[in-house]
Amino acid sequence: MTRDEDTRRIGAELRRLRAGAGLTGQEAARRSGMSQPKISRLERGVNRASVEDVETLCATYRASTTDRDTLVGLVERLHRTVESAATIRRGGTHIKQAQIRRVEAAATELRYFQPMTIPGLLQTAEFTRRIYGLSLENDALVRAMQALADRQRILYDQDKRLRFMLTEQSLRWRIAPPEVMATQLHHIASLSTLATVEIAVIPADATMHEVPLNAWEAFDDDLVSVGLETATMTFTDPGDIAHYRRLYELLERSAVTGADARQLVTQLAHDHLN
Protein backbone atom coordinates (compact mmCIF):
# COMPACT_ATOMS: atom_id res chain seq x y z
CA MET A 1 0.00 0.00 0.00
CA THR A 2 1.36 3.44 -0.94
CA ARG A 3 1.63 6.39 1.43
CA ASP A 4 -1.24 8.15 -0.37
CA GLU A 5 -3.39 5.05 0.01
CA ASP A 6 -2.52 4.90 3.72
CA THR A 7 -3.48 8.57 4.07
CA ARG A 8 -6.87 7.95 2.44
CA ARG A 9 -7.44 4.84 4.56
CA ILE A 10 -6.76 6.78 7.74
CA GLY A 11 -9.15 9.51 6.59
CA ALA A 12 -11.87 6.99 5.85
CA GLU A 13 -11.45 5.39 9.29
CA LEU A 14 -11.65 8.77 11.01
CA ARG A 15 -14.82 9.57 9.08
CA ARG A 16 -16.29 6.17 10.04
CA LEU A 17 -15.50 6.74 13.72
CA ARG A 18 -17.04 10.23 13.66
CA ALA A 19 -20.19 8.92 12.02
CA GLY A 20 -20.33 6.07 14.53
CA ALA A 21 -20.19 8.64 17.32
CA GLY A 22 -23.14 10.49 15.74
CA LEU A 23 -21.19 13.74 15.36
CA THR A 24 -21.19 16.27 12.55
CA GLY A 25 -17.92 17.81 11.46
CA GLN A 26 -18.72 20.98 13.40
CA GLU A 27 -19.61 19.05 16.55
CA ALA A 28 -16.40 17.03 16.27
CA ALA A 29 -14.42 20.25 15.88
CA ARG A 30 -16.00 21.82 18.94
CA ARG A 31 -15.41 18.78 21.15
CA SER A 32 -11.87 18.05 19.94
CA GLY A 33 -10.56 21.61 19.78
CA MET A 34 -9.64 21.18 16.11
CA SER A 35 -10.99 23.32 13.31
CA GLN A 36 -13.75 21.82 11.16
CA PRO A 37 -11.75 22.41 7.93
CA LYS A 38 -8.81 20.46 9.37
CA ILE A 39 -11.04 17.52 10.28
CA SER A 40 -12.47 17.60 6.77
CA ARG A 41 -9.01 17.62 5.18
CA LEU A 42 -7.93 14.69 7.33
CA GLU A 43 -11.02 12.68 6.44
CA ARG A 44 -10.60 13.37 2.72
CA GLY A 45 -6.95 12.38 2.81
CA VAL A 46 -5.82 15.87 1.77
CA ASN A 47 -3.65 16.24 4.89
CA ARG A 48 -1.72 13.54 6.71
CA ALA A 49 -2.84 13.05 10.29
CA SER A 50 -0.31 13.13 13.09
CA VAL A 51 -0.30 10.71 16.01
CA GLU A 52 -1.61 13.54 18.20
CA ASP A 53 -4.44 14.20 15.72
CA VAL A 54 -5.51 10.57 15.77
CA GLU A 55 -5.33 10.23 19.55
CA THR A 56 -7.35 13.42 20.02
CA LEU A 57 -10.08 12.40 17.58
CA CYS A 58 -10.24 8.83 18.87
CA ALA A 59 -10.75 10.19 22.37
CA THR A 60 -13.45 12.55 21.07
CA TYR A 61 -15.24 9.72 19.28
CA ARG A 62 -14.78 7.30 22.19
CA ALA A 63 -13.16 4.86 19.79
CA SER A 64 -12.27 1.37 20.97
CA THR A 65 -8.71 0.59 22.01
CA THR A 66 -8.39 -1.65 18.96
CA ASP A 67 -9.50 1.08 16.55
CA ARG A 68 -7.22 3.63 18.21
CA ASP A 69 -4.17 1.35 18.21
CA THR A 70 -4.75 0.36 14.58
CA LEU A 71 -4.98 3.99 13.48
CA VAL A 72 -1.95 5.05 15.51
CA GLY A 73 0.02 2.23 13.95
CA LEU A 74 -0.98 3.35 10.47
CA VAL A 75 -0.03 6.96 11.20
CA GLU A 76 3.32 5.97 12.67
CA ARG A 77 4.08 3.95 9.54
CA LEU A 78 2.99 6.86 7.38
CA HIS A 79 5.40 9.26 9.06
CA ARG A 80 8.35 6.87 9.35
CA THR A 81 10.53 5.32 6.65
CA VAL A 82 13.56 3.05 6.95
CA GLU A 83 16.32 2.79 4.35
CA SER A 84 18.99 0.17 4.93
CA ALA A 85 22.67 0.98 4.49
CA ALA A 86 22.90 -1.91 2.03
CA THR A 87 20.15 -0.35 -0.10
CA ILE A 88 21.95 2.99 -0.08
CA ARG A 89 25.22 1.37 -1.18
CA ARG A 90 23.51 -0.58 -3.95
CA GLY A 91 21.80 2.55 -5.26
CA GLY A 92 25.01 4.55 -5.04
CA THR A 93 26.24 6.79 -2.22
CA HIS A 94 26.30 9.72 -4.67
CA ILE A 95 22.57 9.22 -5.31
CA LYS A 96 21.86 9.39 -1.57
CA GLN A 97 23.97 12.54 -1.28
CA ALA A 98 21.95 14.15 -4.08
CA GLN A 99 18.73 13.20 -2.27
CA ILE A 100 19.97 14.82 0.94
CA ARG A 101 21.01 17.93 -1.02
CA ARG A 102 17.43 18.36 -2.27
CA VAL A 103 16.05 18.09 1.28
CA GLU A 104 18.61 20.63 2.52
CA ALA A 105 17.81 23.01 -0.34
CA ALA A 106 14.13 23.07 0.66
CA ALA A 107 14.88 23.89 4.34
CA THR A 108 15.79 27.17 6.01
CA GLU A 109 16.94 26.00 9.45
CA LEU A 110 19.06 22.86 9.44
CA ARG A 111 20.29 21.18 12.64
CA TYR A 112 22.87 18.40 12.77
CA PHE A 113 23.90 16.37 15.80
CA GLN A 114 26.94 14.13 15.41
CA PRO A 115 28.50 12.50 18.50
CA MET A 116 30.97 10.19 16.73
CA THR A 117 32.53 11.82 13.66
CA ILE A 118 32.56 14.95 11.50
CA PRO A 119 29.30 15.86 9.67
CA GLY A 120 29.64 15.65 5.90
CA LEU A 121 29.01 19.36 5.31
CA LEU A 122 32.00 20.22 7.51
CA GLN A 123 34.46 17.71 6.07
CA THR A 124 37.62 18.53 4.16
CA ALA A 125 38.16 16.64 0.92
CA GLU A 126 40.98 14.54 2.39
CA PHE A 127 38.96 13.60 5.47
CA THR A 128 36.05 12.61 3.21
CA ARG A 129 38.38 10.50 1.07
CA ARG A 130 39.55 8.64 4.16
CA ILE A 131 35.99 8.03 5.41
CA TYR A 132 34.43 7.05 2.09
CA GLY A 133 37.51 5.05 1.20
CA LEU A 134 36.65 2.57 3.93
CA SER A 135 33.77 1.24 1.82
CA LEU A 136 34.10 2.82 -1.64
CA GLU A 137 36.76 2.84 -4.33
CA ASN A 138 37.49 4.02 -7.86
CA ASP A 139 34.58 5.73 -9.66
CA ALA A 140 32.12 5.17 -6.80
CA LEU A 141 34.47 7.02 -4.45
CA VAL A 142 34.96 9.93 -6.86
CA ARG A 143 31.23 10.35 -7.51
CA ALA A 144 30.40 10.22 -3.79
CA MET A 145 33.01 12.89 -3.01
CA GLN A 146 31.76 15.12 -5.82
CA ALA A 147 28.17 14.78 -4.59
CA LEU A 148 29.20 15.77 -1.06
CA ALA A 149 31.13 18.76 -2.41
CA ASP A 150 27.93 19.84 -4.19
CA ARG A 151 26.06 19.63 -0.88
CA GLN A 152 28.67 21.78 0.87
CA ARG A 153 27.78 24.82 -1.24
CA ILE A 154 24.81 25.34 1.05
CA LEU A 155 27.19 26.58 3.75
CA TYR A 156 27.45 29.87 1.85
CA ASP A 157 23.73 30.34 1.17
CA GLN A 158 22.75 33.50 3.02
CA ASP A 159 19.13 32.35 3.26
CA LYS A 160 20.07 29.34 5.39
CA ARG A 161 20.91 28.82 9.04
CA LEU A 162 23.00 25.70 9.62
CA ARG A 163 23.54 24.60 13.20
CA PHE A 164 25.97 21.81 14.08
CA MET A 165 26.20 20.10 17.46
CA LEU A 166 29.41 18.09 17.91
CA THR A 167 31.03 16.36 20.86
CA GLU A 168 34.62 16.74 21.96
CA GLN A 169 35.01 13.00 21.48
CA SER A 170 33.94 13.23 17.83
CA LEU A 171 36.77 15.71 17.29
CA ARG A 172 39.35 13.67 19.20
CA TRP A 173 38.83 10.33 17.47
CA ARG A 174 41.86 9.50 15.30
CA ILE A 175 39.80 8.62 12.23
CA ALA A 176 42.57 9.89 9.95
CA PRO A 177 46.31 10.60 10.41
CA PRO A 178 47.16 13.42 12.85
CA GLU A 179 47.92 16.02 10.19
CA VAL A 180 44.62 15.27 8.41
CA MET A 181 42.70 15.55 11.67
CA ALA A 182 44.41 18.83 12.56
CA THR A 183 43.61 20.32 9.15
CA GLN A 184 40.01 19.10 9.46
CA LEU A 185 39.55 20.76 12.84
CA HIS A 186 41.08 24.04 11.66
CA HIS A 187 38.60 23.89 8.77
CA ILE A 188 35.70 23.57 11.22
CA ALA A 189 36.99 26.54 13.21
CA SER A 190 37.17 28.58 10.02
CA LEU A 191 33.64 27.62 8.93
CA SER A 192 32.32 28.70 12.33
CA THR A 193 33.06 32.32 11.39
CA LEU A 194 30.47 32.21 8.59
CA ALA A 195 27.26 34.10 9.32
CA THR A 196 25.25 31.11 8.09
CA VAL A 197 26.98 28.54 10.31
CA GLU A 198 26.82 27.87 14.06
CA ILE A 199 29.22 25.35 15.57
CA ALA A 200 28.47 24.05 19.06
CA VAL A 201 30.75 21.58 20.87
CA ILE A 202 29.91 19.59 23.98
CA PRO A 203 33.10 19.37 26.09
CA ALA A 204 34.02 15.97 27.50
CA ASP A 205 33.56 17.25 31.06
CA ALA A 206 30.22 19.00 30.43
CA THR A 207 27.21 18.19 32.59
CA MET A 208 24.60 16.54 30.38
CA HIS A 209 20.86 17.21 30.58
CA GLU A 210 19.92 14.42 28.17
CA VAL A 211 21.72 11.40 26.71
CA PRO A 212 21.18 11.14 22.92
CA LEU A 213 21.52 7.68 21.43
CA ASN A 214 22.13 8.41 17.74
CA ALA A 215 23.32 10.98 15.25
CA TRP A 216 20.51 12.88 13.54
CA GLU A 217 19.65 15.74 11.22
CA ALA A 218 16.57 17.99 11.36
CA PHE A 219 15.20 20.16 8.55
CA ASP A 220 12.91 22.97 9.72
CA ASP A 221 9.92 21.36 11.43
CA ASP A 222 9.28 19.06 8.49
CA LEU A 223 11.63 16.09 8.73
CA VAL A 224 14.19 14.36 10.95
CA SER A 225 16.69 11.79 9.69
CA VAL A 226 18.29 9.47 12.27
CA GLY A 227 21.42 7.51 11.42
CA LEU A 228 21.66 3.94 12.70
CA GLU A 229 24.48 1.46 12.20
CA THR A 230 22.71 -0.43 9.42
CA ALA A 231 19.93 1.94 8.34
CA THR A 232 18.63 5.50 8.19
CA MET A 233 15.19 6.30 9.65
CA THR A 234 13.17 9.32 8.56
CA PHE A 235 10.39 10.87 10.67
CA THR A 236 7.80 13.45 9.65
CA ASP A 237 5.32 13.22 12.53
CA PRO A 238 5.13 16.58 14.39
CA GLY A 239 5.50 14.79 17.74
CA ASP A 240 8.77 13.15 16.69
CA ILE A 241 10.08 16.40 15.24
CA ALA A 242 9.21 18.29 18.44
CA HIS A 243 11.14 15.66 20.43
CA TYR A 244 14.32 16.24 18.43
CA ARG A 245 13.97 20.02 18.59
CA ARG A 246 13.74 19.82 22.36
CA LEU A 247 16.66 17.39 22.43
CA TYR A 248 18.80 19.87 20.52
CA GLU A 249 17.85 22.60 23.00
CA LEU A 250 18.86 20.38 25.92
CA LEU A 251 22.20 19.59 24.27
CA GLU A 252 22.81 23.31 23.75
CA ARG A 253 22.76 23.77 27.52
CA SER A 254 25.89 21.59 27.73
CA ALA A 255 27.72 23.04 24.72
CA VAL A 256 30.07 25.92 24.04
CA THR A 257 29.57 28.08 20.94
CA GLY A 258 31.14 31.05 19.16
CA ALA A 259 34.65 32.02 20.20
CA ASP A 260 34.66 29.43 23.00
CA ALA A 261 33.89 26.64 20.52
CA ARG A 262 36.59 27.87 18.12
CA GLN A 263 39.10 27.93 20.95
CA LEU A 264 38.25 24.35 21.95
CA VAL A 265 38.34 23.08 18.35
CA THR A 266 41.68 24.81 17.73
CA GLN A 267 43.15 23.33 20.90
CA LEU A 268 42.01 19.86 19.84
CA ALA A 269 43.66 20.40 16.45
CA HIS A 270 46.96 21.12 18.24
CA ASP A 271 46.46 18.06 20.44
CA HIS A 272 46.33 15.84 17.34
CA LEU A 273 49.83 16.96 16.44
CA ASN A 274 51.34 16.54 19.91
pLDDT tens, position by position, 70-109: 888 888 888 888 888 888 878 888 888 988 999 999 999 9
198 Cβ contact list (under 8 Å, min separation 6): 161, 162, 163, 164, 192, 257
Which domains occur in the chain, in start order? Answer: 3-78 (1.10.260.40), 81-273 (3.30.870.10)
pLDDT tens, position by position, 235-252: 999 999 999 999 999 999
Torsions phi, psi of 113, nearest 5?
-115, 125
Query: Which secondary structure element, helix H or strand E, spans residue 167, and what is its range?
Result: strand 161-167
Report pLDDT for 218: 97
Evaluate whether 171 touches 201 at the Cβ level (below 8 Å): yes
pLDDT tens, position by position, 18-45: 999 999 999 999 999 999 999 999 999 9
Say if residue 141's pLDDT is above 90. Answer: yes
Evaluate whether 229 touches 192 at the Cβ level (below 8 Å): no
d(CA 18, CA 236): 25
170 Cβ contact list (under 8 Å, min separation 6): 114, 115, 116, 117, 118
Query: C-alpha angle 132/165/102, rounded to 5°?
Result: 55
242 Cβ contact list (under 8 Å, min separation 6): 221
Which whole number is the average pLDDT over 196-209?
97
195 Cβ contact list (under 8 Å, min separation 6): 158
pTM greater than the 0.85 cutoff: no
Say if residue 3's pLDDT is above 80. Answer: no
Buried/exposed 125-148: b ≥16 CB within 10 Å, e otherwise: eebbbbbbeeebeeeebebbbebb
Query: Which secondary structure element, helix H or strand E, spans residue 33, and what is its range?
Result: none
pLDDT more than 90, % of the chain: 79
Report pLDDT for 125: 97
